[in-house]
Each structure stands twice: as structure tokens, then as C-alpha cells.
Amino acid sequence: MSAKQETAIDKQVGGDHYKNCKIQPVEYIESNGLGFLMGNVVKYVTRYAVKKNVQDLEKAQHYIELQLQLNEEGKL
């Protein structure tokens, strides 16, 4: 019997804060075509739910502010 080959989605570098997610943030982001800025919002909100690090919420807020600014400037 052969062992299951670990895929990139199974692997996490630098922690385990996504290991127990039912849906990996990268899978959700890619499946919904969220792009870089909103993808980072999903990532940091998900991390906050596990790590309770307020800086993750601040980072998510910053990416939302960047998205709003680009929308206001008509760049997106």
C-alpha cells in the first residue's frame, strides 16, 4: 500500500493556522476569483479567527482600504 503523496495544498509553511479549516483560504479565493487584495482580506480574517492576533484584522482592514481607494480612482 502506498502512502498518499502530499500536495502543495496539504502543506503549510510557517505555522498551522489553516490546518483545521474546512475550506482552505486559497481554494476559496481562487474558486471565487477574488484577486490579490480581497484574497488577502480572506486570508487575514481566517488567520485572525484562529490566532486572535489583532494585527491580522488591521492587515485585512488595510487591504479593504486599498481596494476602496482603487475603486474610487476608477482603477478597478
Within a domain: 65:
yes
Within a domain: 21:
no
1 band by pLDDT with thresholds 50, 70 and 90: low
Q: Which residue has the cell 488595510?
A: 62
- Could you give the number of structural domains in the chain? 1
Helix axes 35-51, 54-72, angle to 10 degrees: 160
Within a domain: 58:
yes
Domain range for residue 59?
40-76
- Convert the pLDDT of each residue in 22-48 to its tens digit: 888 999 999 999 999 999 999 999 999
Among residues 24, 58, 30, 28, which one has the least CA distance to residue 44?
A: 58
Q: What is the pTM assigned to this prediction?
A: 0.80
Which run of H or E residues covers position 70?
helix 54-72
Within a domain: 50:
yes
Residue 34 C-alpha from the chain's centroid: 10
For residues 2-29, average pLDDT = 79
